[in-house]
Amino acid sequence: MKTTTTLLLATTIAGGMLLMGCSNTAEDQAEKMENKMGNVQDELNDASEADTRAAYERERGDALDKLQGFRSNIDRELANVNERLVSKDMKADKRSEQEALKVELETQQAEVGRLITKVENSQQGNWVSVKEETREGSDQVEGWWNRTKDNVDKMTKSDKDKDGK
């Protein structure tokens, strides 16, 4: 892309110089050169805009994939907690642990949903601030999720998530 742009710029400048040599007056030459340089700048801006748009789309897609993965994991765990809470023979202390986990899962689910909506509604012009907010929020959710998995492993004395902890 840069090679093509550089080649285009060099060709345009060379063509402009040739046209300047054919003009009769300095004013004609200056006007023609100004028009050519304006066209080159427009073409460079268009090429830069395409690169920026592609980067925005790629980053936005990556952020959505990550957040949707979090949402899927949280939804799955929330369904498991709800299933365990249906049991009538659960001890009171285990029930309170599961209810507390349910509240925390619902809180994280809402946060991930908010971030997904923010990313989906983002525009290229506000992407930098949305990306930063999303990164901070997803890092917090990911940290919480990892701590939760490690706590479950400690309580069950097994490594269900197979992370070595």
pLDDT in the model for residue 88: 86
Residues 6+ apart with CB under 8 A from 135: 63
Find the length of the chain: 165
Q: Which pair of structure tokens corresponds to residue 125?
A: 């012009």
Q: What pLDDT shows up at residue 25?
A: 63
Structure confidence at residue 146 (pLDDT)? 85
Helix axes 26-86, 127-156, angle to 10 degrees: 20
> How does residue 6 score in pLDDT terms, banded at 50, 70 and 90?
low
The predicted-structure confidence for 92-131, as pLDDT tens digits, reads as follows 898 998 999 999 999 999 999 999 999 999 998 888 888 8
Residue type, 37: M
pLDDT of residue 12: 59
* Banded model confidence at residue 5, pLDDT cuts 50, 70, 90: low
Tell me the pTM: 0.63
Ordered by start, the domain boundaries in the chain are 2-156
Q: Which residues contact 42 (CB under 8 A, 6 or more apart)?
A: none
pLDDT digits (tens, 9 = 90+) for 13-31: 655 555 555 545 666 666 6
pLDDT of 151 reads 76
From 125, 108, 143, 122, select the one nearest 63 (Cα to Cα).
122
> Which of left, alpha, beta for 164 (phi over 0: left; psi -120 to 50: alpha)?
left
For 34-89, write each residue's pLDDT tens digit.
665 665 565 555 555 657 888 889 999 999 999 999 999 999 999 999 999 998 88
